[in-house]
Amino acid sequence: MHLVQAGESLFSVANRYGLSPAQLVYWNSDEYPRLRATPALDEGWILRVTGPPLPRPTPRPTPGPTRAPPPTQPMQPTGTPYPVAGLPAVDQYGPAAFPAADHVTVSYYTVSGSTPHEISASKRANGPWSDW
């Protein structure tokens, strides 16, 4: 048993006895539930410094490699909107989907590249200008 003195922390007590802070929490959190959330100790607490071994975590199976699902639709010709599963097509809503304006112009442009730098350069070269 260890009587907590002013200025001691969970880490300093664990270090003094060659323990891990997790062991002290495991052995003392029933008596001092706050230990599950914070390493702060109160002066006068009496901590157990021995106890049963910590439970071993159950190993989780390692997922195997996954394959990309086959495309559900053929590639669209360049400049034609390409539908993306789970995202609504802007064209299907028309101007009513954009209440801030009485008309909407939707423009598509090609973006290419295989690295973030190449994609950004393609957007700057081919895409619309925006201050934000």
What is the tens place of the pLDDT at every residue in 111-129? 888 888 888 888 888 877 6
pTM of the model: 0.43
The whole-number average pLDDT for the span 72-98 is 56
pLDDT tops 70 at residue 47: yes
pLDDT tops 70 at residue 22: yes
Residue 36 three-state SS: helix
Q: How far apart are CA 81 and CA 99, in angstroms?
A: 22
Q: Find the distance separating the first CA and the last CA of the chain, reported in whole Å.
A: 61
More confident residue, 65 or 122: 122
Q: How distant, in Å, are the alpha carbons of 97, 98, 106, 107, 116 from that of 101?
A: 10, 6, 13, 16, 33
pLDDT of residue 58: 76
Q: How distant, in Å, are the alpha carbons of 17, 21, 28 from that of 47?
A: 12, 12, 6
Tell me what percent of the residues of the chain surpass a pLDDT of 70: 64
Query: DSSP string spanning 99-130?
Result: TT-S-----------SSHHHHHHHHHHHS---
The whole-number average pLDDT for the span 95-115 is 67
- Alpha carbon 22 to its chain centroid, in Å, reads 24
pLDDT of residue 82: 58
The whole-number average pLDDT for the span 92-115 is 66
